[in-house]
C-alpha cells in the first residue's frame, strides 16, 4: 500500500500511526509485522512519543544543532543536512502485529520525518503474516 504525504514545512514530523493501523485492518493481518518504508533520501521514518507534540519539535531542533541547515557541506544541492538526518532516522521501521493490533508502547507513534520540504512524499507499507 502507498500513503501519499504532502509536507508543508522544511522540516517536520507527521504522525502516520493511524494510517498504518488502518492498513493492518484492511489487510486483515492478525499476527506478523508491518514494514513501513520511505523511498526518499532526505526523509525518513521513526517511532517515538506521539503524546506530547513538543517531542518531534525537540528532535528537529537538536538535529539542527548537530547538523545545521547551513554547514560545511560540499553537496551541490545544498541539502546535505537533510541527507544526514534522514540517514540517522532510517528509511524503514518494522512493527510487530499481534491479534490485529500494532504492538507499540503506550506513548509510541510512527512518524514520517521530512527534512527537505515542503514536498510530495510517499510511504510504502507491507504486511507480513506469521506462518
Note the pLDDT of residue 131: 77
The pLDDT score that the predictor gives to residue 93 is: 98
Give the model's pLDDT for residue 76: 84
1, 41, 69, 50: CA torsion to nearest 10: 30
> What does the alpha-carbon distance between residue 21 and residue 4 come to, in Å, rounded to a whole number?
15
pLDDT in tens, the chain (131 residues): 999 999 999 999 999 999 999 999 999 999 999 999 999 999 999 999 999 999 999 999 999 999 999 989 999 888 999 999 999 999 999 999 999 999 999 999 999 999 999 999 999 999 999 97
- Domains of the chain from N-terminus onward: 2-129 (2.60.120.460)
Residue 113, CB-side half-sphere exposure with 13 Å CA sphere: 31
Amino acid at each position: 500500500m502507498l500513503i501519499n504525504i504532502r509536507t508543508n514545512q522544511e522540516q517536520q514530523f507527521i504522525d502516520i500511526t493511524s494510517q498504518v493501523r488502518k492498513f493492518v485492518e484492511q489487510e486483515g493481518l492478525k499476527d506478523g509485522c508491518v514494514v513501513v518504508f520511505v523511498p526518499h533520501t532526505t526523509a525518513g521514518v521513526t517511532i517515538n512519543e506521539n503524546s506530547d507534540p513538543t517531542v518531534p519539535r525537540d528532535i528537529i531542533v537538536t538535529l539542527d544543532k548537530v547538523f545545521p541547515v547551513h554547514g560545511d557541506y560540499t553537496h551541490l544541492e545544498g541539502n546535505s543536512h537533510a541527507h544526514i538526518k534522514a540517514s540517522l532516522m532510517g528509511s524503514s521501521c518494522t512493527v510487530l502485529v499481534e491479534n490485529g493490533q500494532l504492538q507499540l508502547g503506550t506513548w509510541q507513534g510512527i512518524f514520517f520525518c521530512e527534512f527537505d520540504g515542503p514536498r510530495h512524499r510517499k510511504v510504502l507499507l507491507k504486511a507480513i503474516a506469521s506462518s
